[in-house]
Structure 1
Amino acid sequence: MDKYIGKKLDGRYEITELIGVGGMADVYKATDVVDNKVVAVKILKKEFAENEEFLRRFRNESKAIALLSHPNIVKVYDVGFSDKLQFIVMEYIDGITLKEYIDNEKVLTWKDSVHFVTQVLRALQHAHDRGIVHRDIKPQNIMLFTDGSIKVMDFGIAKFARDDNGTATDQAIGTVHYISPEQARGDETDEKSDIYSVGVMLYEMLTGQKPFDTDNPITVAVMHMQNTPERPRAINPNIPAGLEEIILRAMEKDAENRYQTASDMIRDIEAFKSNPSMTFGYYVEDGADEPQADSPTQYFSSASAQQEAVRLRKGQDNYEDEYEEEDYDEDEDEDEEEEEEEPRSLFIPVMTAVTIAFIVVAVFFVLWLIKGVIQGEPKNTTKYEMPNLVGMDFYEAKDTYTYLDIQIGETEYSEWEKDIIYEQDVAVDTPVSKDQTIYVNVSLGMSTVEVPDVKGYQYEYARKMLEQEGFVVDEKFELASDGTEASKVIRTEPEGGAEAESGSTLIIYV
């Protein structure tokens, strides 16, 4: 039996079962006896607890997720770092990994694929906006719920934009089948490295195979740097051409040729979803015939008619040459009279035809104007599928879905981050028209409360005071250096008088 099962960490998290085994940490299902909820506890393996590199990575994960608050990113509730035990308490996710789902389905539909990828991109944009690059995006790190929503997890090797201490070795880590060319080379990485990994993941979902796959990891890494992947439609012809372009652009070898942000990729995906037959013109099929710019347009039917007219005219000239010279003199006066009469005889019918044509055109023009006045301006019949706005920043949503008139319906304080949309009035995938007004409810963020100053109070009394203000209390013990009596509060984090979010965790030092 596992040594942690049945144990209670920090007097609060009762371990019930082992649910995941990783390279450097194991994940357990546990019960938070204080909040009476199920949580996941990630415990660093003992053999790595004294390794500074693994300790750094483990603490890095908790640091990264603590800075993030997004519906598509796993939440961190608590951390415990001591000499004997290193653990992270996270949101418990009752689902399967995207990897397991792909293995079961083999090839996903394009609708399912873009549904999952869009959520991943939103999570990444949230992280990138806060200077965090995941660097290990892969199906194994995407948890899938039964309702189709996903959560990105495992920020163990995440890079902080403000961290200048990374080494070349540090840059080259990641899962070889999904790493970007710059990661494979050990070069500097940024948010575009995550976008490459998303492209690889989308490639795999739609084709049922990875773009580069051999038994040798080094060979795979070299292929990411040098080889051109087989076009997805060559493997699965059912992939729409526009979606193939999105995949290939995300997987460009040169990071500057990729989508520059996750939001850029989302925009193309949403444009494609509204018109699956569209293409973006990023790539041209090999061997495709393209019209030459200098080649004149040829109208074959008109040219043939002209050639026939020339031939007939030449034949008529030859025929006329056969007339005798004497016949010409006899008919000369008669021809002159015919030439004078011919213009007069053609003038009347030509003018009549022109007049009639003018009248007909004028009548149709007037009728068209009358019809326009009666019916008004033609309505825009273009239809789009309603995107999922929940979890997006309100202003980002307005910039992304410019074809919709997105307006704020209600606002309230909530656990959602400020300006995040938590509800929309039109269901996802419902047909919507261009410029249709969509009302969304937007979070004002967590309401803030002044932390009561409980220094010197008895612990139980201080705890009740803080809980009445809506705070979650976490107790820590330390030796007092100022002569504070036992069981009395030495200090709190945040300190008394500071502003803190309602519902957040305060630490009482006793």
Structure 2
Amino acid sequence: MSTPPPDQPAEETPTVSASGLSGPGDDSALISEIENTVYSSGQPIDSDVAYAGLRPKELGLALRGQTINDVLLEEFVGGGGMGAVFRGVDLALQRTVAVKVLSTHRAADEDTKRRFEVEAQSAARLDHPSIARVYSVGEAQGLRYIVFEYVDGANLRDLVAEHGPLGLNDALSFAIQITDALEHAWQRDVVHRDIKPSNILITREGRVKVVDMGLARLKQVDDGRHDLTASGATLGTFDYIAPEQARDPRNADARSDIYSLGCTLFFMLAGRPPFPEGTALQKLLQHQGDRPPDIRTLRTSVPRDVARTISRMLAKRPEDRYADPSALLTALLRLAQRLGISPGLLTTARSLTSDDMALRRHAPWMVAATVLVAGWLLWPRLAPSPSPPQPFELTGEADQPGVLPLTPPR
């Protein structure tokens, strides 16, 4: 089973893996260098100077163990273009949280601060079981930060890398949950703009949590660094970006999320994105001009109706896709009903709680309380009442060697 290529975002720093979930590793030399920068004669120096120009990993190591506004930055767990991510503790409420600290070059600009606040407020309005919540935003020591729900789960990219493509039941169930989350956001004028496997977490009960909802727009500050024609960079992730979004990030809307979700569903079933080869620019051109492969050429067991649904999600023109997440959700629910798929078909042969599983890796989002998974209103007419949540395992599929669907434990 080959490992899928990383969903490398345009802004990812070379010091952190593409998933943004890697731990600090052996960084003693870097830590020593940072300590010499942050402290002078044993005393903290001005934070604006201390943290200026630090890359996300360096920022993470510099801030690890510090407290900002009653939030303890307990452990640095990764970083990307926007900044460093920590597992933290809200000391006032005594709950585990995730904290994203913006890179200093972003936090310094007044227009970026305003956008940051508006987008974070928009994301905080979202209240959905498949969306990781935004708790608060703040500023301290010259740093801007966001406090999130902490999701104890593995992202789809790591799950597929570890175990291969998902079974049809689980891929569709996850796609339905993601679409329901997108529909909730769309009804509140929030678009994700960066749907990809590493932004989709699966909890221990097999439930979806979409992260960075409503915050991806923070990456598209109107400066030349995000103009594809100016610098070769653009908002989004090259393996999953919609054609119109690649041309101009301001064109992204809910239909762009549908395209990215189509790429993600393709990845779940095939173990690779539609256009896995080439440079970043070549991938952008493929998304705009090349016809994506039929999923059935890579996995013959996929039903034709599923292949047609993915094909429509991947239409080049936004108007040829599903009109909005609500229309896609209706189509996916009907498709699942025709195929006899229900949320009870979530899970296992090898437990995701094993030590070598992706769940043991650091994830920058984790749920502070048990996720409520009672079958919920996605499936009021499609399935009987689900059984209580169970840890899930992976089993093989007879007609597709190497493909590991998620099925219920006996």
Shorter-chain TM-score category? 0.5 to 0.7
Question: What do the CA deviations read for 1:286-323 (whole angstroms, capped 9, x no partner)?
Answer: xxxxxxxxxxxxxxxxxxxxxxxxxxxxxxxxxxxxxx
Shift of 1:91: 0.9
Shift of 1:201: 0.7
The equivalent of 1:472 in structure 2 is: none
Q: Is the 8 A contact 1:44 1:58 kept in 2?
A: no
1:133 aligns with 2:191: yes
1:229 & 1:275 partners in 2: Cα distance?
A: 25
2:257 corresponds, among 181, 187, 194, to 194
Letter in 1 for 2:200: I
Aligned in 2, Cα 1:140/1:169: closer, same or farther, shift over 3 Å? same
Letter in 2 for 1:175: T
Aligned in 2, Cα 1:428/1:147: closer, same or farther, shift over 3 Å? farther
TM-score (norm 1): 0.52
Q: Is the 8 A contact 1:385 1:430 kept in 2?
A: no
Question: What do the CA deviations read for 1:202-226 (whole angstroms, capped 9, x no partner)?
Answer: 1111111211122311111111111
Q: Which has the higher contact order (CA 8 A, sep 6+)?
A: 2
Aligned in 2, Cα 1:422/1:16: closer, same or farther, shift over 3 Å? closer
1:29 & 1:425 partners in 2: Cα distance?
A: 29
**Unpaired runs of at least 5, structure 1:** 277-383, 389-420, 439-510
**Is the partner of 1:77 in helix, strand or coil?**
strand
2:182 & 2:283 partners in 1: Cα distance?
A: 25
1:262 aligns with 2:262: no
The equivalent of 1:182 in structure 2 is: 244
Q: Is the 8 A contact 1:132 1:158 kept in 2?
A: no
The equivalent of 1:17 in structure 2 is: 75
Letter in 1 for 2:267: E
Aligned in 2, Cα 1:150/1:135: closer, same or farther, shift over 3 Å? same
2:376 & 2:235 partners in 1: Cα distance?
A: 43
Question: What do the CA deviations read for 1:341-363 (whole angstroms, capped 9, x no partner)?
Answer: xxxxxxxxxxxxxxxxxxxxxxx
1:206 aligns with 2:269: yes
Q: Is the 8 A contact 1:233 1:239 kept in 2?
A: yes
Q: How many residues align?
A: 292
Name whichever of 81-90 and 117-126 sits farther off. 81-90
Q: Is the 8 A contact 1:95 1:146 kept in 2?
A: yes
**Is the partner of 2:284 in helix, strand or coil?**
helix
Alignment of 1:258-297 (within 5 A): 258-276=321-339
1:424 & 1:244 partners in 2: Cα distance?
A: 26
Q: Is the 8 A contact 1:387 1:429 kept in 2?
A: no
The equivalent of 1:85 in structure 2 is: 143
1:257 & 1:425 partners in 2: Cα distance?
A: 31
1:202 & 1:75 partners in 2: Cα distance?
A: 23
The equivalent of 1:156 in structure 2 is: 215
1:248 aligns with 2:311: yes
2:341 & 2:373 partners in 1: Cα distance?
A: 19
Higher normalized strand content (fraction of residues): 1
2:159 & 2:193 partners in 1: Cα distance?
A: 22
The equivalent of 1:232 in structure 2 is: 295
Cα RMSD after superposing both structures = 3.3
**Is the partner of 1:132 in helix, strand or coil?**
coil
**Unpaired runs of at least 5, structure 2:** 1-30, 32-60, 345-371, 386-410
Computing the radius of gyration from Cα coordinates, the structure with the larger value is: 1
The equivalent of 2:85 in structure 1 is: 27
Aligned in 2, Cα 1:427/1:220: closer, same or farther, shift over 3 Å? closer
Shift of 1:157: 2.5
1:166 & 1:262 partners in 2: Cα distance?
A: 30
% same residue: 32
1:37 & 1:80 partners in 2: Cα distance?
A: 17
2:82 & 2:292 partners in 1: Cα distance?
A: 32
Shift of 1:57: 5.8
TM-score (norm 2): 0.64
Shift of 1:428: 6.5
Aligned in 2, Cα 1:188/1:23: closer, same or farther, shift over 3 Å? closer
1:97 corresponds, among 134, 147, 155, to 155
